[in-house]
Chain A
Amino acid sequence: MDPLYIITNYGPRFLDGLLMTLQLTGLGALMAGLLSPFLALARTSAPVAAQWPLRLYISFIRGTPLLVQLFLVYYGSGQFRPLLQDWGLWNFFRDPFNCALFTFVVNSTAYQTEILRGGLMGVDNREIEAARAVGMSRFRILQRVSFPHAYRIAWPALGNEVILLMKASALASVVTVFDLMGRTRQVFSRTFDFSSYLWAALIYLFITVVFVFLWRQAELYMTRHIRAGNTVTQGKQHHG
């Protein structure tokens, strides 16, 4: 075991893998984050009968291993190759990075939708009634009342989901994407030096620590008007 040898000789490789992991996680979480508010809204407001495809999708994603979902997309698309070629989609599904990213977006969207649905349901009905009473349109209420409050409620859980996605992105290495895990396996198979795994563990923990800090800062920023020390809010509370 020689940790110094590993990091001096293979440091650039680890850095390369780290960037790939950040890219997969960041893009995946962001794209899922763009889709989830619409689905969460459908999940809370659409007619119950219209919700069953959405419920089925969420249940399927939550009830099956991510590895199976990834293989279903990456290897499964091969079964429909002629069809995908006709539609011009084959080049997309041939690339392991695209398949991994696609799977992560589909997976994380389901989880984020459920989290955000919980947030939307946690918004006090009286806030919405008040907004209606001052004459806001339905869209304005969503934009200024429901979603801002729902995101404040859901923020810690959404952070957990991003961390889970970051850890899950290690699965991309199984379909030959060279993320941090993929690079680590490469280095280990060349050197048989156990410290390559220890470096990977340190880097993963480092990502988590930095992310938790940044996420917490964002939460503090989002809740700055309702935290203790804000005299305006405290005054309001005293007067009931």
Chain B
Amino acid sequence: MRELFAFGETGWGDELLAGLAVTLQLGVAALLLGLLIGFAVAWASLSRHLVLRCAGFAYSTIMRGLPELLTLFVVYNGIGLLINKLSAFVSPDSASPEFSPFAAGVLALGMVFGAFSSEVLRGAFNSLDPGQSEAGKAVGMNTRQVFMRIKLPQAWRFALPGLGNLWINLLKDTALVSIIALNDLMRMTKVAVGATKQPFTFYLAAALIYWALCVLSEFGLDRLEKRANRGIVNR
């Protein structure tokens, strides 16, 4: 057992670790993109303009209703086809550039995270007390200051539990990207299985690593929540 997971030429420890690094990079990149999309969509859903509200609602409803795997294939194959067409149009003689599975993974997972987080953020901004923003304006803060100093810190507090759950889902969804041939933890496990013919051992190892990541995340989120709520007196 020990030599199977050893580092170096003989074991698969270093390969799995390299896969884990890709998984984490993918997760963090998709989280950042997803938060950006989430804020934009939440802003659109809370807007005064009907068209923006409808667009926000349509985006979050459709993206939440589709299987993540389908979204991944739509992004990967769709943008792949688009790049092929574009490059054939621009320079018909040269071979078209490859669309990297990593970029496809970040984009697809980010889009999914954006749809779910927009709902969490919308709820968080909705539950703010409007009197506080008015008070901010009354003491002479401009819109930016009201947003940064009053709205955002409080919305963050309301949104954190929801966003934490979404982060854990995102971490688990990164495993899907192995299907489009990105060398993440899941795919490196598959390679190890192919070489050693010990599928149960290695998939169990992968499962334990994902489990550890999720438990660690929960621990970290707990601390973040405590910090976000530090100004709140328990009644």
Contacts and interface: CB of A to CB of B under 8 A. Distances in A.
Interface of A: 59-60, 62-69, 71-72, 75-80, 163, 167-171, 173-174, 181, 184-185, 188, 192, 194, 197, 200-201, 204-205, 208-209
B interface, over-half SS: helix
Contacts of B193: 75
Interface stretch (B35-43, B102-110, B153-161, B206-214): B206-214
Given A59-B211, A204-B67, 11 more contacts: A63-B210, A67-B176, A68-B210, A72-B203, A75-B199, A79-B198, A173-B69, A174-B69, A174-B179, A184-B70, A194-B81
Q: Which 10 A-B pairs have the closest CB atoms?
A: A76-B200, A170-B67, A63-B214, A65-B175, A75-B199, A79-B200, A65-B172, A63-B211, A167-B67, A72-B203
A76 B190 CA distance: 11
- With most chain A CB atoms within 10 A of its CB, the pick from B67, B73, B207 is B67
B204 interface: yes
Given A197-B77, A197-B78, A181 B67 contact: yes
Nearest to B178: A67
Nearest to A169: B67
Contact of B199 (A79, A173, A197): A79
B186 interface: yes
15 contacts: A59-B215, A60-B211, A65-B172, A65-B173, A67-B178, A67-B179, A68-B210, A71-B190, A71-B203, A72-B207, A75-B200, A76-B200, A171-B176, A181-B70, A197-B78
- With most chain B CB atoms within 10 A of its CB, the pick from A174, A184, A192, A201 is A201
A75 B62 CA distance: 33
Contact of B200 (A72, A185, A194): A72
B65 to A, nearest CB: 5
A72 B175 contact: no
Contact of A197 (B73, B173, B203): B73
A218 B173 CA distance: 31
Contacts of A192: 81
Contacts of B190: 71
A192 B77 CA distance: 9
A173 B211 CA distance: 24
B199 to A, nearest CB: 4
Interface size class of B (residues with CB under 8 A): 35 or more
Contacts of B138: none
Contacts of B210: 63-65, 68
Contact of B70 (A60, A72, A197): A197
B14 interface: no
Contacts of A60: 207, 211
Interface in B179-227: 179, 186, 190, 193, 197-201, 203-204, 206-207, 210-211, 214-215
B232 interface: no
- With most chain B CB atoms within 10 A of its CB, the pick from A71, A169, A204 is A71
A200 B201 CA distance: 35
B66 interface: yes
A68 B206 contact: yes
Nearest to A66: B172
B65 A68 contact: no
A72 B168 CA distance: 20
A185 B73 contact: yes
Contact of A204 (B65, B78, B204): B65
A68 B66 contact: no
B69 A170 contact: yes
A68 B175 contact: yes
Nearest to A75: B199
B66 A201 contact: yes
